[in-house]
A and B are shown apart, each in its own frame.
Chain A
Amino acid sequence: MERQGRSTLVDLYFERRAELVRFFTLRLRSAAAAEDLVQDIYVRLASAEVDAEVRNPVSYLYRLGSNLMLDRLRGERRSAARDAAWRQTHRTELGGAEVAEEPDAVQAMAARQRLAAVVTAIAALSPQTQRVFRMHKFEGLSHSEVAAALGISRSAVEKHMIAALRHLSETLP
């Protein structure tokens, strides 16, 4: 494993900055949003949150940016959930049966159905694929940790993960 000081990563960042902006413009479909995101990558690099040891430094920069994108997606889901929770408590406080009861009930049922669909889709995976998927996704083990735990190769782990994701994206509405 190669040791990369933080300053080397920052150097690399400036070297690759234009390529990163090009990549995230494609991903975000907006040059302005990409500029912001690539700036955020720098903020992370320059702060103490990121440290020395990185195996593939270029890949690390791209992944850092991609994770920031996913974090933003998570944040959007959370604030949507908070809004829903607030509406629900607010409604309870009002106590009036006529206040927006229907949409919330419908929403809650849709969420339950969605959860059931996801469970069914995961449960339909072969036992080994399901084991790999759960260990990586829900137990947070890396590909090589899953491989070591199950005594299979890392490429086998990747094949199981691909099969799982493909199945989920093809079967879930």
Chain B
Amino acid sequence: MTGRGPGQGQGGAAEQAAAWFVRLQGETATGEDWLAFERWLAAAPAHALAYERLESLWVEMDSDAPRLVAALDAAQRPAARAAHPPARPPRWLWPAIGAPLAAGLAAAVWLGVQPHPQPPAIYQTAPGEVRQLALADGTAVRLNVASRLAVTLSADARRVQMADGEAAFDVAHDAARPFLIQVGDRQVRVVGTEFDLRHRDGELRLTVRRGVVELRPADAPDAAPARVTLGQQLTHRDGETGVQLAAVEADDAFGWTTGQLVYRDRPLSEVAADLSRRFASPIRTADAETGRIRFTGVLVTDNEAAVLRRLEAFSGVRAEHVADGVVLRRARAAR
């Protein structure tokens, strides 16, 4: 017994079982912990039963995960709205407005009146962090790692600005208030639909799972839009004039929302960049040639060591730990 394991005296069987379950799932569990767990299991039949109950609950929640998460989000939406009233705009936004007027405006916002201009709400995630957002209009957004959104909900439109980042949007239908996303040199226009929008290293990728999304150059709001519908993916590079449309498995692009990165014939450099944003150590390819290796596979993003192990098994590269991160190198010989 290491002393870190749950003691036999504290709490009922359910609590002790929960403590063991969590301890043994942790990255720091040792062989000693498992031996102590074995002694605990053998000590009373109720212990084994309590532990098995947890295991079957755990597995049950796996098989129902998508429906559970959707139901939890739905249950949380009204609560989230109540918990986050629109933030009072900071005064520095109106350097030209007198303090009394600013105070009056702040009071107006507080009472739910929406003046112009309204400062955007900023949502951002750190590398490795994924967030679920419930916007006040009912739109659900999952924000992928290392991403930033500025959101302004006003009476005539819902406006989002996205810099470098990725998010999956499930936009609440509201014909009177279009949902507009400013991303790179393009504008995405939505009425109500579900899509994934990725803007990384100057490349925009828009994948639609439900409904129709329109995309225009940001500086030509009257131009004829490119229309992307379900099962399609649009790609565009900042600064170029054209866009490309392809038929895809839309679910692939949403894989990250359930802890999976799905690649079909993508360069290894993209995989490395995605993983770098997700884990603590920067991951790079040894040279441009290695970066061009094509990769196809699904990476479950549970932890860095396991992901690198799978990447090695699928792609024929070796992950080498160096002082400032991880370098992917072509394996010298096939396994």
Q: Is the CB of A59 within 8 A of B71?
A: no
* 1/0 contact string of B16-42 vs chain A (CB within 8 Å): 011101111111111101110010011
* 1/0 contact string of B174-188 vs chain A (CB within 8 Å): 000000000000000
B61 within 8 A of A: yes
A101 within 8 A of B: no
A84 within 8 A of B: no
Give the interface SS of chain B, mostly helix, strand, loop or mixed.
helix
A49 within 8 A of B: yes
- B-facing residues in A99-139 (Cβ within 8 Å): 115-116, 118-119, 122-123, 134-135, 137-139
* 1/0 contact string of B48-66 vs chain A (CB within 8 Å): 1010011111111111110
Closest B residue to A167 by beta carbon equals B18
A40 within 8 A of B: no
B129 within 8 A of A: yes
Interface bracket on A: 35 or more
| C-alpha spacing A58/B72, complex, angstroms | 37
Q: Is the CB of B302 within 8 A of A142?
A: yes
Q: Is the CB of A162 within 8 A of B312?
A: no
Q: Is the CB of A26 within 8 A of B68?
A: no
Taking a contact as CB atoms closer than 8 A, the residue among B22, B28, B301, B313 that contacts A140 in the complex is: B301
Q: Is the CB of B27 within 8 A of A55?
A: yes
Residues on A with C-beta less than 8 A from B96 are: none
- Distance in angstroms from A139 CB to nearest chain B CB is 6
Closest B residue to A164 by beta carbon equals B18
| C-alpha spacing A138/B308, complex, angstroms | 21
| C-alpha spacing A73/B52, complex, angstroms | 11
Q: Is the CB of A144 within 8 A of B69?
A: no
- A-facing residues in B300-335 (Cβ within 8 Å): 300-303, 305, 308-309, 312-313, 335
Q: Is the CB of B63 within 8 A of A56?
A: no
A78 within 8 A of B: yes
Q: What are 6 residue pairs bridging A and B, where the CB atoms are less than 8 Å apart in the complex?
A: A54-B305, A55-B28, A59-B30, A123-B75, A138-B65, A149-B126
Closest 10 CB pairs of A and B: A58-B31, A140-B259, A165-B18, A149-B129, A62-B34, A166-B18, A51-B309, A161-B22, A142-B303, A119-B71
Task: Give 7 new A-B contacts, CB below 8 A, not counting A59-B31, A158-B23.
Answer: A73-B56, A115-B64, A138-B259, A141-B128, A154-B26, A166-B15, A172-B57
